[in-house]
Amino acid sequence: MNFVVIGAGAVGMLTASLLKEAGCGVLLITRRREQAELINKQGITKDGKVHYIKASAEWDKIPANAYMLITVKYSHLPEIISALKRKSLDNPVVFMQNGMMHLEMLRNLPQKNIAAGIVEHGALKVSETEVRHTGRGIFKFALLRGDEERFLPLLKINGVKAEWHKDSDKMLLRKVLLNSMINPLTALLSVKNGELLSNPHAYELLKNVYTELYTGFPEIEKLLPFEQVTALCAATAENTSSMLADKLAGRQLELDTILLYIIRRSPYTLPILQTFYHLLKAAEKE
């Protein structure tokens, strides 16, 4: 199987490395030519092992039979959407962003087969050519439009655990509800995931946010029981959430596609999450 991974951040480099390990053909598309040149010379180092993966900053050599995995962050999606509209590519496309705000951006794409993807692996970008696999997990996929059969081979990649979900909204909503609890709290408090359990004040905040989300999304009780939230925090205790990692690196936070989306979708006011949103937005502007 051939893949084109668009985006060479933590998730992109990890995904490309895992697919390469599985024996797949992989082309990694970077935003900057300099990073592509470094990867072509040095390969990608994942946990001490080097994977030689072809990288390019150009879209011209994308194989017609390749799956396109879009791993860039929400803030970089507009340029990817523009490129997909310009190029006469009919490849199956999988969007693997956090949050759900980006779904509206996909409606006018010319591609016929589009899926959503969730990455439940921990990944930390160490440098332009190195990524650390901080937690082994699973890839989840669901159809957004087109032919489901085009994407089912993604479930049969040797050594890469993956699931297919029939309801894309439920799959994505569960993840964004989870992210709306863990990400802003860890970013505001500058703590790792496990400290949301070990710090009694952080734990109280976590419970309060869950209770508030229940008022707007009562389905959370079945989609994401609180025990699953605490279990994930415990399993990823030493991990730095993606939002905290972005904050520490001075990058734009994924606040709109996670928090603002949930705030707008809820039929009721969510004052705690609104406060988190504006606190993080204010700090980001500074």
CATH assignment at residue 239? 1.10.1040.10
Rg of the chain taking only CA atoms, in angstroms: 19
Q: Are residues 143 and 260 in the same domain?
A: no
Q: Are residues 182 and 213 in the same domain?
A: yes
What is this structure's pTM?
0.94
**What is the pLDDT, as a whole number, of residue 67?**
97
Q: Are residues 8 and 135 in the same domain?
A: yes
Q: Are residues 29 and 135 in the same domain?
A: yes
State how far the Cα of 249 lies from the Cα of 243, in Å rounded to an integer. 10
**What is the pLDDT, as a whole number, of residue 181?**
97
Q: Are residues 159 and 176 in the same domain?
A: no
**What is the pLDDT, as a whole number, of residue 94?**
98
Q: What is the domain count for the chain?
A: 2
State how far the Cα of 160 lies from the Cα of 15, in Å rounded to an integer. 10
**What is the pLDDT, as a whole number, of residue 286?**
54
**What is the pLDDT, as a whole number, of residue 245?**
92
Exactly one of 46, 125, 175, 247 is catalytic; name it: 175
Q: Are residues 153 and 11 in the same domain?
A: yes
State how far the Cα of 184 lies from the Cα of 211, in Å rounded to an integer. 16
State how far the Cα of 225 lies from the Cα of 173, in Å rounded to an integer. 13
**What is the pLDDT, as a whole number, of residue 202?**
98
Does the active-site annotation cover 175? yes
Q: Are residues 149 and 179 in the same domain?
A: no
Q: Are residues 60 and 91 in the same domain?
A: yes
Q: Per-residue b/e over 159-190, b at no fewer than 16 CB within 10 Å?
A: ebeeeebeebeebbbbbbbbbbbbbbbbbbee
Q: Are residues 118 and 55 in the same domain?
A: yes
Q: In which domain, by residue range, is 95 found?
A: 2-166
Q: Are residues 24 and 43 in the same domain?
A: yes
**What is the pLDDT, as a whole number, of residue 37?**
97
Q: Are residues 196 and 214 in the same domain?
A: yes
Alpha helix (H) ranges present in 105-260? 168-189, 195-198, 200-216, 220-223, 226-235, 242-249, 255
Q: Where is the domain boundary, 131, 166, 201?
A: 166
CATH number, position 140: 3.40.50.720
State how far the Cα of 137 lies from the Cα of 81, in Å rounded to an integer. 28
Q: What is the pLDDT along the chain (286 residues), one digit of tens a residue?
A: 999 999 999 999 999 999 999 999 999 999 999 999 999 999 999 999 999 999 999 998 888 889 999 999 999 999 999 999 988 788 999 999 999 999 999 999 999 999 999 999 999 999 999 999 998 999 999 999 999 999 999 999 999 999 999 999 999 999 999 999 999 999 999 999 999 999 999 999 999 999 999 999 999 999 999 999 999 999 999 999 999 999 999 999 999 999 999 999 999 999 999 999 999 999 986 5
